[in-house]
Each structure stands twice: as structure tokens, then as C-alpha cells.
Amino acid sequence: MTYAWLLVGLAVIAEIAAALSLRYSNGFRKPLPTVFALLNFALAFYLVSLALVKLPVSTVYPVWAGGGTAGVAFLGILILKEQKNIWKLIGVTLVVAGIVILNIASTSNGV
């Protein structure tokens, strides 16, 4: 099962790389960032599909989507110098908290 979670982590990284590449694709007008984005989205989907062989979709999909969301928000502020404010911080914190809770729920017996 650890291998499956590694695949989810790699899928999150691919998702983040793809989303950031979209920023540089200029609406799919720049070929290199466009191809990079599409390939990374495809890789992310493939890795998630492999992880779903062993892990429940009710946990994997939110972790993948939420991890990508939090990662893009963080890197958007850090790398792209996007605006940071308390609401964005609260939102990312809630996403991460949700991911942690889902992981706890998937490993517990309904406690």
C-alpha cells in the first residue's frame, strides 16, 4: 500500500507541474509549456489510476486534488509572486486539514 501512496504523491507533483505550466502556455499559444502541461496532466491521471488499484477512490481523489490545489496555491505565491492574504492561507490550511482527516478516516475503523 505504501507504493500506492507514493504513486499518489507523484501524481500530485505532476498535477502541480501541469497547472503551473498552464500559466506559461499563454492560453495554449506557446507550444513547449502547453505540451509539458498536457503530458503532466496525462502522467497524473495515469499514476492515480495505478494507485486506485490498491486504494479507495474516496480517499485518493480528494488527496490528489487537494494536494494539487494546496501545492499550486503555495507555489503560486512563492514562485509566481501571487498575492497572499489571510483568506488564501485559511483556505489552503482547510484543504490540508481535510486531506489529513481523510487519511485518518481511511486507516481507522470508524473511530
What average pLDDT does range 85-93 have in this prediction? 91
Between CA 24 and CA 42 the distance in angstroms is: 18
* 52: CB partners within 8 A, 6+ apart: 60
pTM score:
0.87
Of the candidates 43, 41, 21, the residue with the CA atom closest to the CA atom of residue 32: 21
pLDDT digits (tens, 9 = 90+) for 50-72: 999 999 998 899 899 999 999 99
Q: Which three cell numbers stand for residue 20?
A: 503551473
Rounded Cα–Cα distance for residues 55 and 49 (Å): 10
- Integer CA distances (angstroms), 61 to 32, 78, 84, in order: 28, 25, 26
Over range 66-85, report the average pLDDT.
92
